[in-house]
Amino acid sequence: MGSDRINILYLIDYFRGTGGTETHLARLVVGLPPETFRCSVVAFDLGTNALLDGLRANGIEVVHLPVGREYVPNAAVQAWRLATLIRRNRFDIVQTFHQKADTYGALIAWLSGARHLISSKRDTGYLRKPLHMFLNRRLRFMFEAFIMVAEAVRIAVVANDRLPVARTTTIYNGVDLSRFVVPSSDERAEARKHFGFATEDFVVGMVAAFRAEKNHEVFFDALSRAAEAIPSLRVLAVGDGPLLAEVRERVRGTALGERTMFAGEVADVLPYLWSMDVACLTSVHEGFSNAVVEQMAVGLPVIVSDVGGSAEAVVNGENGFVVPPRDAQALSRALVEMHADPARAAAMGHASRRRAVERFSLEKMCADHASLYLSLVRRPRGEK
């Protein structure tokens, strides 16, 4: 390798918005030390978004190789283009994200002579079909390492894909602690004023795409139950998605209609977080949420459903509450409890910030990846 930088190619199925995996990847490639690593990204489905603009502004090459189905003539054309790219650049490491990259993309990379392959597992595999598990098991030999986003994800994926435990490592998502900070009293007041919240309002928020697995139905059911005990309750729902219109229409006809602000997808989530008193995530399936660690970093107590790695971020009773998934009554009780004891809620918020600093910093996330990359390229070829 000499004095040359380590050349890394990231393969991702889709990069069309600012979802969790896209955000994670963007933070990682910009956060790695450029004097040591040279990063490129290939997406099989690419759309214009702010994250891409940021990558390109930092000199990261982003290539679109449009691949829909893997078994049509176009897939063969794109496979040839990807193989040519890999051979020309002589990548030291190819890291894959999502199912198509894990199979179609990884196989092309392996056949094209990529030196080291890594698979990044972002969820427990709840959407994978039997064919996906079959392929993952058959192709696992190609990968020298599997990065898991949480311990719960590691346990599930090791069992489902029958992975060798020795090749797995857990690296949590990281948050930029210099940007996601606890607001001053003036910053908090300004944010709340901007969104029309009064000082005495109790603002409960959720930042999540309106998709079935995020389970906004339970979120709003719990809020409806809590509303009678919390007259000052206000709701802030941040995110876009296929179910947004349906949920908005349903809430409009309830007592929460006038209390709820649907923000949609936002360019900067920070002022929305600063205006909240407590944040929630009611997912029925989850890997490890970027939104949750961002909420912790700004000093919010957080209530999460006990799925995926959420309970690895939120310690029940310490920096928030962990409730059973699909249990609106449990979420409602937790909200009422937080509202009734502001001092305890504030202490939980302080604990959230401390926990984010200690365990979920962007610097730690990038350093852990860098350490893994260096260990691979320094390992004798063929050694697993």
Q: Is 240 left (phi over 0), alpha (psi -120 to 50) or beta?
A: beta
Inter-axis angle of helices 151-161 and 130-139, nearest 10: 90
Question: What pLDDT shows up at residue 127?
Answer: 75
Residue 227 CB neighbour total at 10 angstroms? 19
Q: Which stretch of 46-60, 252-266, 366-380 has the lowest confidence by average pLDDT?
A: 46-60
E strands of 29-170, at which residues?
Answer: 37-43, 61-64, 93-97, 116-121, 145-148, 168-170
Residues 259 and 167 in one domain: no
Range of the domain at 352: 185-359
Grade residue 93 by pLDDT with cuts at 50, 70 and 90: very high
pLDDT tier for residue 132 given thresholds of 50, 70 and 90: confident
> Above 50 in pLDDT, residue 2?
no
Check whether residue 41 and residue 152 sit in a common domain: yes
pLDDT band (50, 70, 90) for residue 380: low
Q: Is 77 helix (H, G, I), strand (E, B) or coil?
A: helix
Q: Please check whether residues 347 and 372 belong to one and the same domain.
A: no
Q: Residue 275's pLDDT band (boundaries 50, 70, 90)?
A: very high
Average pLDDT over residues 47-73: 89
**pLDDT (tens digit, 9 = 90+) per residue, 194-240?**
999 999 999 999 999 999 999 999 999 999 999 999 999 999 999 99
Residue 383 in domain: no
In this structure, the answer to whether residues 214 and 169 fall within a common structural domain is no
Report pLDDT for 383.
Answer: 57
Tell whether the model's pLDDT for residue 384 goes beyond 80: no
Cβ neighbours around 341 below 10 Å, total: 12
Instruction: Give the tens place of pLDDT for each residue, 97-127.
Output: 999 999 999 999 999 999 999 999 998 887 7
Cα 339 to Cα 186, 194, 324, 342, 352, distances in angstroms: 22, 23, 20, 6, 17
Q: Is 70 exceeded by the pLDDT of residue 14?
A: yes
Query: Are 11 and 156 within one domain?
Result: yes
Q: What is the CATH number of the domain that holds 193?
A: 3.40.50.2000
Total count of domains within the chain: 2
| Each residue's pLDDT tens digit, 177-199 | 999 999 999 999 999 999 999 99
Region 298-323: what's the mean pLDDT?
A: 97
Phi first, then psi, for residue 202 (nearest 5°) are -105, 105
What's the one-letter identity of residue 103? T
Residues in the chain, total: 384
Write down the pLDDT at residue 47. Answer: 85
139 within 8 A of 146, measured Cβ to Cβ: no
Q: Do 58 and 205 fall within a single domain?
A: no
Pair 218, 84 in one domain: no
Residues 166 and 287 reside in one and the same domain: no
Q: Within this chain, do residues 131 and 277 fall inside the same structural domain, yes or no?
A: no
Whole-angstrom Cα distance, residue 230 to residue 235?
12
* Interacting residues of 196 by C-beta distance below 8 A, sequence separation 6+: 261
Q: Is residue 282 in some structural domain?
A: yes
Range 157-165 average pLDDT: 94
CA proximity to 102, closest of 76, 74, 125, 73: 125
Mean pLDDT score across all residues of the chain: 94
**In 10 A of CB 142, how many CB atoms?**
18
d(CA 146, CA 28): 16
178 is a domain residue: no
Residues 81 and 118 in one domain: yes
- Is pLDDT of 19 > 90? no
Does any domain span residue 1?
A: no
Say if 337 falls within a structural domain. yes
264 and 368 fall within a common domain: no
